[in-house]
Amino acid sequence: MRIVRIYYKGKPKWGVIKKETVHLLEGTPFGRIKYSGQTVAQKNAKLLAPAIPSKIIMAGLNYREHAKELGLKIPKVPVLFLKPPTSIAASGENIIYPDGIKRLDYEAELAFIVKKTARNIPENKAGEYILGYTCCNDVTARDLQKKDGQWTRAKSFDTFCPIGPHIETQIRPENLAIRSYLNGRLRQNSSTSDFIFPVYYLLAFVSRIMTLLPGDVVSTGTPHGIGRMNKGDLIEVEISGIGRLRNRVA
């Protein structure tokens, strides 16, 4: 099932894509799916970001090859940080290059959307708490990250967390191809099989720290091959079984 958020008659609506048609829902997908009977052709639907999170939890350094790329030791526990909900952007929206930033980087990531309230959950039950998966770009002002010595300012600007284009509910996260393309050229090419901390472990770990609410986003880190973006560039994140997240830098 591919779940989307779109504009419909001036209002945001949730829907499910079936054969190039968006079937609109009554309410949200965080419970029993109920269709409204209204439909929209997918080609005519304006996409919104497929999440309205109370918080965005990001995992850093979660691919073995990426740790090697940076010359860092494999972490013993997940390295976590937060992005604000205001950093969310939809597929097709611009990533805004802030004034004064000297280097802006892309980081392709697999993210998942929390389905129901999660607190202190066991790893073997974690799948029950995931609505589905989507593409994410952990946009980073690299010069600020190095200058500040921590990550909040560098990763929290508006539009610095594009996600989408939709939520895919019927895939498993263990061995998904993940790639990024800058202006059509392949830049990152890896697989979630290189995770240090798998998705279910990561969700259980986070739930022991903070209560996760329906719609919260957890992103799982980026593989090796991160790099610079410039104004006018098109950056695409592709994950097998999901699709492509496309954003232009403006």
> What's the confidence (pLDDT) of residue 231?
98
Secondary structure (DSSP) of 16-63? EEETTEEEEESS-SSSS--EEEEEEEGGGPEEE-S---S-EEEEES-B
CB atoms within 10 A of CB 185: 7
Tens of pLDDT, residue by residue over 165-222, are 999 999 999 999 999 999 999 999 999 999 999 999 999 999 999 999 999 999 999 9
**pTM of the predicted structure, to 2 decimals:** 0.96
In 3D space, the residue among 98, 132, 102, 137 whose CA is nearest the CA of residue 115 turns out to be 132
Spell out the domain ranges in the chain: 2-48, 56-249
Tens of pLDDT, residue by residue over 129-170, are 999 999 999 999 999 999 998 899 999 999 999 999 999 999
Instruction: Select 2-48's CATH number: 2.30.30.370, 3.20.20.70, 3.40.50.970, 3.40.1360.10.
Output: 2.30.30.370
CATH topology of domain 56-249: Fumarylacetoacetate hydrolase; domain 2 (3.90.850)
Two structure tokens written together for 111 = 């993210």
